[in-house]
């Protein structure tokens, strides 16, 4: 029941503001905080969220609510508060944040699948009598009654198949009062046809036991806290999660487990379903109905554990006691559209509201998390050894500058890697090859005039995809036919330079024709179950060589993989981004961890043109602490995270001059805000810690026909950063030609 004359409503618009609407008398008993409502807005109707009720309003003309959509609140008070925090922290509308909390299938109201169920109304004697009466003149109706007398009840499609009847026969029998026809909801079961063999807790190592005991103690305290679990690949972090969740369920609480890649969910689901009965899954590869069913199962209290990608942090779970973020360092936890949240940081806020514990797990933690553990903000526990004391794989670095060209063509597989692959495959062991670039060739140029084929809408090279016989832009996804000659000088000398997974697949098949190869990238893994089928085939040994992008680099456990080849360690390290070294180190360590998990051991071969780069050298030594020390020194000198906070402002528009002018205006407003925030007397002390870098054209200066400029705001803490950014949060309202995007704690600067 409403306690107030007016509803406070937020809408899915880039404005962090509550709007007041009158509550008509007919809705007094329906309106509640947390329900969706349909309201007039401008010249249209819109769906909003009721976030408050009040008796007072300063608005002179207040419109009525048109309709209350939900019968029960779809979001509880905790979720509303979390969304409000998210809107304030990431500078988006409160309504925009709430839209993220509800999957689109739930917002659209996709209901559970229904089937028609047919059953008898009469007793057996009456049915037999009726069958004998109608058998000659209505044999199909008689057959329906015979089937129903045997099975009791059956779905209409099954009944039609057995008796060859049609709906008119069913309707006649129903009109006579002989049968009933009802609708029944059925789940589009995510786990249909799958058997999960139940498992018990595994025997733990001393290091695992220490970690489990720490987490259990923190759980029993029922207070918000964070534990960083740093464990080398293969050290048994998943078993720690499983035993921690068992404790959570014993305490009558529930758990959320976030994984960074959809490709990880099949193995993860199997491990968790084998241990727990009430497991729900949320990720983008589900069908619409599956996602709706899973969400409502969680909402209705039918799940103890929720597994999913970043948006699963918003699962409508009550009594959350534990949130696990596996591979917490992964940039896939960062949303790249509004609201640009980091699921790791949102987990902390949710845990605060729930009095829950957050466990961050990784072999290569983000430097922000590691620093927080070092200064005592997080509890810190390490797993330094693999289960069974298996050694970490030996890593060998191949300097590709010394490799001879194969004829006129550049070599992409070194002689040494090719030799090791032959040795490995001859022993019926498996090989995993990693290349973080898809397509056939990422660079198309003219040998005669030097022309480089770029996207007409974006300032980026087109990538040649041979299977599609097209060149594709990986930013706007536009496709063009492959040029037969240079568009600039008409020379036939077009060259396809560089290598992607498609080209690599062709090369490997030519060199190893007798072995089965599977390519895993976003071009080949488009089907709903494609990840699961591919990894199952590899796990069974049906595939000898697995070639893929970063979707194969983490979390996968295949004991027969004895060789990992990193075909190019340079695809990330040369990016114009202060996190390039960290990402390179993490990716190399993660992909190296896919081998050496069985009794046969394993080896990693890293091919690079930058063998002296510190991130590659430390990764080869599995030396996280050495890398972190060097990288933190570099970050401290520049006051980059974790020593400071960053925000990136990207401006885009159709005319470069408009974008440039607006970016300069924004920069001046930000610099004035810094002067007001830090004070003139403190400006010298703050000038390196709190400053605006830019504006300048973005590294990719044009995307989808929009010119792009950007600037970076550095601040010594999140409070100052927020205060500074508030001065421009409403700039989009006054700028029709230029769009402005604020990205707090950016993960990419391209």
**Hey, where are the domains in the chain?**
6-108, 113-186, 206-389, 394-441+498-636, 645-744
CA distance 602 to 266: 24
Dihedral sign for Cα atoms in the order 727, 733, 734, 737? positive
Longest CA span, the chain: 104
Using DSSP's 3-state secondary structure scheme, residue 675 falls into: helix
> What is residue 199's predicted lDDT score, i.e. its pLDDT?
86
DSSP percent split of the chain into helix, strand, coil, nearest 5: 40, 25, 40
Tell me the mean pLDDT in the region 559-575.
85
Kindly indicate the confidence band of residue 111, based on its pLDDT and cuts at 50, 70 and 90. Answer: low
Are 448 and 485 in contact by the 8 Å Cβ rule? The answer is no
Using DSSP's 3-state secondary structure scheme, residue 48 falls into: strand
CA distance 210 to 694: 48
Q: Is the pLDDT of residue 681 over 50?
A: no
When mean pLDDT is compared across 82-96, 477-491, 642-656, the lowest value belongs to 477-491
The residue whose two tokens read 């950063």 is 721
Q: Is the pLDDT of residue 264 over 70?
A: no
The residue whose two tokens read 């080209």 is 503
Q: Is the pLDDT of residue 630 over 50?
A: yes
Q: Is the pLDDT of residue 662 over 80?
A: yes
Same fold, 113-186 and 206-389: no
Are 485 and 393 in contact by the 8 Å Cβ rule? The answer is no
Nearest residue to 22 (alpha-carbon basis) of 3, 5, 44, 47: 5
Tokens for 529, please give them: 């179950």
Q: Is the pLDDT of residue 229 over 80?
A: yes
Helices (H), ranges, 541-654: 570-573, 580-592, 614-620, 624-638
Kindly indicate the confidence band of residue 150, based on its pLDDT and cuts at 50, 70 and 90. Answer: confident
Question: pLDDT tens digits for 726-738?
Answer: 999 888 776 778 9
Bridge pairing between strands 19-22 and 6-11: antiparallel
> What is residue 192's predicted lDDT score, i.e. its pLDDT?
60
> What is residue 265's predicted lDDT score, i.e. its pLDDT?
62
Nearest residue to 508 (alpha-carbon basis) of 546, 541, 464, 473: 546
CATH 3.30.1330.10, applies to 645-744: no
Question: pLDDT tens digits for 385-422?
Answer: 988 888 888 999 999 888 766 555 667 889 899 999 99
Q: Is the pLDDT of residue 188 over 60?
A: no
For residues 438-467, b (16+ Cβ closer than 10 Å) or e, as one string? bbbbbbbbbeeeebebebebbbbbbbbbbe
> What is residue 555's predicted lDDT score, i.e. its pLDDT?
63
The residue whose two tokens read 């993660």 is 590
CA distance 303 to 585: 37
Question: pLDDT > 70: what percent of the chain?
Answer: 93
Please state which CATH number belongs to domain 394-441+498-636.
3.40.50.300
When mean pLDDT is compared across 153-162, 345-354, 403-412, 530-539, the lowest value belongs to 403-412
Structural fold of domain 206-389: Rossmann fold (3.40.50)
Average of per-residue pLDDT values in the chain: 87
Please state which CATH number belongs to domain 6-108.
3.40.1440.60
Kindly indicate the confidence band of residue 432, based on its pLDDT and cuts at 50, 70 and 90. Answer: very high
> What is residue 686's predicted lDDT score, i.e. its pLDDT?
54
> What is residue 685's predicted lDDT score, i.e. its pLDDT?
52
Element (H, E) at 479: strand 479-481
Please state which CATH number belongs to domain 113-186.
1.10.10
Bond prior to 642 in cis (omega within 30° of 0): yes
Kindly indicate the confidence band of residue 538, based on its pLDDT and cuts at 50, 70 and 90. Answer: confident
Question: pLDDT tens digits for 236-260?
Answer: 999 999 999 999 999 999 999 999 8
When mean pLDDT is compared across 184-198, 532-546, 668-682, the lowest value belongs to 184-198
Q: Is the pLDDT of residue 185 over 80?
A: no
> What is residue 348's predicted lDDT score, i.e. its pLDDT?
97
Q: Which residue has the higher pLDDT, 642 or 196?
A: 642
> What is residue 743's predicted lDDT score, i.e. its pLDDT?
94
Q: Is the pLDDT of residue 321 over 70?
A: yes
Q: Which residue has the higher pLDDT, 46 or 286?
A: 46
């Amino acid at each position: 029941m409403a306690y107030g004359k007016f509803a406070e409503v937020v809408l899915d618009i880039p404005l962090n503001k509550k709007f007041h609407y009158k509550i008509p008398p007919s809705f007094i008993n329906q309106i509640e905080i947390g329900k969706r409502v349909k309201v007039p807005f401008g010249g249209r109707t819109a769906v909003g969220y009721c976030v408050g009720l009040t008796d007072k309003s300063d608005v002179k003309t207040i419109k009525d609510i048109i309709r209350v959509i939900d019968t029960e609140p779809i979001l509880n008070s905790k979720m509303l508060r979390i969304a409000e925090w998210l809107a304030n922290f990431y500078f988006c509308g409160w309504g925009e944040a709430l839209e993220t909390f509800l999957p689109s299938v739930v917002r659209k109201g996709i209901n559970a699948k229904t089937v028609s169920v047919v059953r008898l109304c009469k007793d057996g004697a009456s049915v037999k009598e009726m069958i004998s009466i109608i058998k000659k003149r209505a044999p199909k109706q008689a057959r329906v009654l015979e089937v129903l007398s045997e099975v009791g009840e059956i779905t209409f499609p099954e009944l039609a198949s057995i008796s060859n009847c049609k709906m008119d026969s069913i309707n006649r029998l129903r009109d006579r009062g002989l049968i009933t026809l009802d609708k029944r909801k059925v789940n589009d079961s995510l786990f249909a046809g799958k058997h999960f063999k139940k498992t018990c807790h595994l025997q733990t190592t001393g290091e695992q036991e220490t970690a489990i005991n720490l987490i259990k103690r923190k759980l029993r305290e029922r207070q918000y806290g964070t534990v960083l679990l740093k464990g080398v690949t293969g050290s048994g972090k998943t078993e720690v999660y499983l035993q921690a969740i068992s404790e959570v369920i014993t305490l009558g609480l529930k758990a959320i487990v976030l994984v960074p890649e959809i490709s990880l969910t099949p193995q993860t689901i199997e491990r968790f379903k084998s241990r727990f009965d009430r497991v729900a899954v949320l990720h983008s590869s589900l069908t619409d109905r599956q996602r709706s069913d899973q969400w409502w199962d969680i909402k209705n209290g039918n799940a103890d554990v929720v597994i999913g990608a970043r948006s699963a942090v918003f699962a409508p779970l009550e009594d959350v006691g534990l949130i696990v973020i596996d591979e917490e360092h992964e940039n896939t936890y960062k949303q790249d559209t509004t609201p640009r949240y980091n699921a790791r940081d949102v987990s902390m806020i949710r845990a605060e509201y729930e009095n829950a514990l957050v466990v961050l797990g990784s072999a290569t933690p983000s430097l922000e998390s590691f620093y927080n553990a070092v200064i005592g903000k997080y509890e810190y526990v390490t797993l330094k050894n693999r289960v069974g004391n298996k050694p970490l794989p030996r890593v060998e670095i191949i300097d590709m500058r010394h490799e001879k060209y194969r004829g006129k063509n550049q070599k992409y597989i070194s002689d040494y890697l090719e030799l090791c692959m032959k040795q490995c495959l001859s022993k019926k062991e498996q090989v995993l090859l990693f290349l973080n670039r898809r397509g056939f060739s990422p660079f198309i140029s003219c040998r005669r005039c030097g022309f480089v084929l770029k996207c007409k809408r974006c300032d980026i090279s087109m990538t040649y995809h041979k299977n599609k016989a097209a060149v594709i832009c990986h930013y706007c996804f536009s496709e063009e036919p492959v040029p037969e000659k240079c568009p600039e000088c008409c020379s036939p000398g077009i060259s396809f330079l560089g290598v992607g997974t498609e080209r690599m697949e062709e090369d490997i098949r030519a060199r190893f024709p007798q072995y089965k190869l599977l390519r895993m990238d976003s071009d080949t893994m488009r089907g709903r179950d494609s990840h699961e089928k591919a990894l199952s085939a590899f796990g069974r040994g049906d595939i000898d060589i697995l070639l893929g992008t970063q979707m194969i680099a983490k979390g996968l456990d295949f004991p027969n993989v004895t060789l990992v080849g990193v075909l190019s360690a340079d695809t990330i390290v040369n990016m114009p981004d202060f996190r390039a070294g960290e990402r390179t180190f993490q990716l190399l360590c993660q992909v190296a961890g896919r081998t050496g998990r069985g009794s046969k051991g394993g080896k990693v071969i890293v091919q690079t043109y930058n063998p002296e780069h510190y991130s590659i050298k430390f990764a080869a030594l599995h030396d996280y602490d050495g890398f972190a020390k060097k990288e933190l020194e570099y970050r401290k000198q520049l006051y980059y995270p974790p020593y400071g906070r960053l925000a990136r402002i990207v401006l885009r528009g159709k005319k470069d001059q408009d974008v440039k002018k607006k970016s300069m205006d924004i920069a001046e407003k930000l610099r004035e805000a810094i002067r007001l925030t830090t004070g003139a007397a403190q400006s010298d002390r703050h000038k390196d810690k709190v400053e605006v870098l830019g504006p300048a054209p973005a590294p990719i200066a044009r995307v989808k026909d929009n010119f792009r400029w950007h600037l970076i705001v550095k601040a010594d803490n999140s409070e100052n950063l927020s205060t500074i950014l508030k001065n421009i949060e409403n700039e989009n309202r006054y700028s029709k030609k230029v769009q402005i995007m604020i990205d707090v704690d950016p993960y990419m600067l391209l």
